[in-house]
Chain A
Amino acid sequence: MNFARRFASSLVAIVAALAVAIGLMLLVDAPPFEALKLLVEGSVGSDVKIADTFMAWAPLVLTSTGLIVTFAAGLWNIGVEGQVMAGAIAASWVARTVDGPVWLLIVLTMLAGMIGGALWALLAGVLKVYGRVNEIFGGLGLTFVAQALITYLVIGPWKRPGVASTSGTEPFPEHAWLPTLPGLRISLVAVGVALVAVIIIYFMLRGTRFGLRLKAVGKNSRSAYLLGIPTTRYMLAAFAIGGALAGLAGTIQATGFLHRLVPAVSGGYGYLGILVALLANSSTIWVPPVSFFFAMISVGSTQLQLRLNLDSSLGGVLQGVLVLFTLLAQGWQSRRIAREAAEASAAPPVKLVES
C-alpha cells in the first residue's frame, strides 16, 4: 500500500477512535476534552510522567518486536503473555540467588529472562510442530500454567517470611535492581535494550538470509518446504526469538520496575504487544512510535481514574478501537483496490492484508 493511502487510513482510524472515546465519555457524563488533556498530561506532562511512560514503552517494544518475528513466520504467538511471565520467573530466580556487582546481575538476569521466555515459547512451538496443537491454544494453555506457577511460587517457596499472600515476593536485593536515573523510575538500560532489539530485528528481517527465508516460511510454508527450507526449524527459531524478547520484557518488569515477582508481573504487555504488532502492520520500524503512543494511553489513563473517577480501562478501549478501525480501514481500502484492479483488467485481486 502506498504511503498516502496508508496515511489516509490511519488518519480515519484515529479520528474514528477519538470519536468513539468522546462518545463513551459523554455516555458516562465525563468531560471528554478535559479527559483527553489529562491523558496527555498524565503521560508526558512532567519528567516523572515521561520516565514512567518510557518504562511502559520498553517492555511493550520488546514484546511487539518479538511478535513481529513470529508473525513474519506466519505464527500466531498469542501465548506471549506466558512467555513474559516465564522470563520474569527466571530473572527473579537469578536476582534472588546470585550475589555480585550490579553489571553482572544485569547481564545474568537478562540472560535468564531470555532463556526462560524462549523455552516457554519453544514449548508452544513443539506442541504445534510435533503435537499438532494450534499455537493459539497451546500458547494460551501455557500462559495459564505460567500464571499458576507464579502464584504457586509467591504463596509457596518464595513467600515472604511469615506472610502467605498473593501480593508478591520480598523485594530483590538492591544489587539486582536495574539502575534508575536519580528521582525517576526510568532505567536507561531497559530503554537501551529495547532500542537495540528493534534495530537487530529490523536488519534481521530485512537484510539477512535467515530473515528472508523466515518470511518465505510465513508466506507459504509449503512452497518454502519444497524449495528446501527446513520450515520446522525456522518456525521453532521464530518462537525462540519471540519468546526471548518477551522474556526480556518480563525481566525488565521484575528487576527494573516492580523489583519483585508479583502475580501480575506481565503488566498485560504481552496482549498489548499483539495490538501494537497488528497496528504496526508487521513493520518493525513502526513499533517504537506505536508503542510510545500506546504507553502514553496506558500510563495517562491511570490519571483518569484518580482525577475524574473514570475507570482506567478507557485506555484499553481507546487502544482496541484504534486497532480495530485501522484494520477495518485497511480491509476496506484493499477491497476497493481489488475491485478497481478487477474492473481495469481480468487480473486476480491482490491480497494486501492477509497475513
Chain B
Amino acid sequence: MEAALATILAAAAPLVFAVIGETITEKAGVINLSLDGSIMLSAMAGFATAFVTGNLWLGFIVAALVGMAVALLIAFASISLKLNQVAVGFVLFALTRDLSSFLGNPYVHQRLAGVPHLPIPILENIPFLGPIFFQQDLVVYGSLVLIFVAYWFIFRTRPGLKLRAVGERPEAAHARGIPVNRLRYLYTAIGGALVGLGGAAFSLDMKLGWSYQHTLNFGWIALAIVIFGGWHPYRAALGAYLFGALQIIALKLQPIFPGLSQVLPSMPFPIMILTLVIIYTDWLKRLADRFPSLREFLASEPPSGSGVPFEPE
C-alpha cells in the first residue's frame, strides 16, 4: 500500500507541474493550448542540456526557459496581436512537437543518471507517511510544495487576488488600475515555465531519457485535468494523482489481461471527459450550495475572461 501510494505520488509529479502551471495561466485569462508540444520540446531540451553539460539542474532551467518562451509567443500573439488563442496554441503544439523530434534525434536512447533519491532524515522514519512522502526525490518534493504554494498564492494573497481579477473581470481590474495585459503576460510566462519544468521532470526523472515523442499525449491529459480540476490547485492535483493511479492500475492489470495492455493506457482520457460531463451537470452546484465552505473547492466554472482578449479603451 505505502509503495503503491509512493509510486503514484512520484508518477504524477511531472503532471502536477504542468497542471498547476496551466491553471495559473488560465486563471489569468490566457489558454495555452500548445501544452502537448511544449512539454515535449522542454523535455527534449532539458535532457539534451543535462546530457551535454552533465548538469542535471541546468537541464531543468533550460526546460523552464523553453516552456516560458513558447508561452510568451502565445501571449504575444493573443494579447498584443489579438490573434485567436486556440489557433496559435494549436499551431505551436504541432510545431514544438515536430521540433522536439528533429532536434532531439541525436539524443534518442542516450543514457544519463537521473535525479537522485533524497530521503529526508527523521521524517522518513514516520510509519506509513514516511515511505509515502519523505523517501522521494527533489522533483516530487517540489511538486508537493508547489500545490500548496499555488493555492496560497492564488487564493490568499493580494497579487493572487489581482491574478484572479484579470482572469475573471478584466474590465473591473483595469478600472481599479491593475495592468491587465502586463499581468497576463507575466502569469502566462510563469505558467509556461512550470509546464517546462514538468517536461524536464519527465525526461530527467520519471521517464528518464529521450525517445521519439517521449511525452506523447501527456499535454492533452494535463489540459483535461485543468478543467477537471475546476481551475483550483488542490482539485487539479487530485486529478493528476487519480490519473497516476489509473496508470499504475493499468500497469498492474497488464499481465492479467495482456490483450488490453495496448488499449488501457489511452483510457484515462475518455474517463476524464466523462467526468467533465458529470461535473457540468447540476448536482455539483447544488452540493456547493448546501456546503458553502466547500464552494471554492467545488466551483467548476472557467475564469470568465479566459480566452477573451482584453482591450483597454
Contact = CB atoms under 8 A, between A and B. Distances in A.
Of A151, A166, A314, A331, which is in contact with the most chain B CB atoms at under 10 Å from its CB?
A: A331
Contacts of A275: 91, 94
A141 interface: yes
B86 A76 contact: yes
Contact of A166 (B87, B90, B262): B262
A133 B85 CA distance: 18
Contact of A141 (B92, B98, B270): B270
B224 A313 contact: no
Contact of B99 (A151, A317, A328): A317
A274 B93 CA distance: 12
Interface stretch (B169-177, B179-187, B273-281): B273-281
Of B82, B87, B227, B267, which is in contact with the most chain A CB atoms at under 10 Å from its CB?
A: B87
A138 B83 contact: no
A106 interface: no
B307 to A, nearest CB: 10
A353 B85 CA distance: 11
A332 B91 CA distance: 17
Interface residues of A, number: 53
A290 B253 CA distance: 46
B305 to A, nearest CB: 16
A144 B91 contact: no
A24 B311 CA distance: 37
A334 B81 CA distance: 8
A99 interface: no
B266 A148 contact: yes
B102 A317 contact: yes
A316 B81 CA distance: 25
A47 interface: no
A355 interface: yes
A155 B262 contact: yes
A324 B99 CA distance: 13
Contacts of B87: 278, 327, 355
Interface string A306-341: 000011011111011101100110111011000000
A137 B223 contact: yes
Contacts of A147: 266
Contacts of A76: 86
B84 A328 contact: no
B259 A145 contact: no
Given A78-B90, A148-B266, A127 B84 contact: no
B110 interface: no
Given A141-B269, A164-B259, A332 B94 contact: no
A240 to B, nearest CB: 20
A6 to B, nearest CB: 16
B101 interface: yes
Contact of A152 (B77, B263, B280): B263
Interface string B70-109: 0000000100111110111011101111110111011000
B22 to A, nearest CB: 13
A136 B96 CA distance: 19
B155 interface: no
Contacts of B262: 151-152, 155, 166
B102 A274 contact: no
Contacts of B246: none
B220 interface: yes
Contacts of B97: 316
A164 B97 CA distance: 30
Nearest to A329: B81
Given A275-B91, A353-B82, A133 B105 contact: no
Contact of B81 (A134, A142, A164, A331): A331
Contacts of A142: 270, 273
Contacts of B96: 320
A192 interface: no
B176 to A, nearest CB: 24
Interface in A114-156: 127, 131-134, 136-138, 140-142, 144-145, 147-148, 151-152, 155-156
Contacts of A343: none
A158 interface: no
Contacts of B112: none
B267 A148 contact: yes
A313 B84 CA distance: 26
Contacts of B220: 140
A292 interface: no
A317 B98 contact: yes
B224 A141 contact: yes
A140 B93 CA distance: 14
Contacts of A233: none
Interface in B257-273: 259, 262-263, 266-267, 269-270, 272-273
B44 to A, nearest CB: 11
A271 interface: yes
Given A148-B263, A148-B267, A331-B81, A324 B102 contact: no
B90 A328 contact: no
Of B86, B102, B220, B277, which is in contact with the most chain A CB atoms at under 10 Å from its CB?
A: B102
19 contacts: A131-B277, A131-B280, A136-B33, A141-B272, A141-B273, A145-B270, A148-B270, A151-B262, A151-B266, A156-B259, A166-B262, A278-B87, A310-B102, A314-B98, A317-B95, A330-B83, A331-B83, A334-B81, A353-B81
Given A78-B90, A155-B262, A328-B81, 19 more contacts: A132-B280, A136-B33, A137-B224, A137-B273, A138-B273, A141-B224, A144-B269, A148-B263, A156-B259, A274-B90, A313-B98, A315-B98, A316-B95, A316-B97, A319-B98, A328-B77, A330-B83, A331-B82, A354-B84
Question: Which A-B residue pairs are the 3 nearest by beta carbons?
Answer: A320-B95, A331-B81, A316-B98
Interface of A: 24, 27-28, 76, 78, 127, 131-134, 136-138, 140-142, 144-145, 147-148, 151-152, 155-156, 164, 166, 271, 274-275, 278, 310-311, 313-317, 319-321, 323-324, 327-328, 330-332, 334-335, 351, 353-355
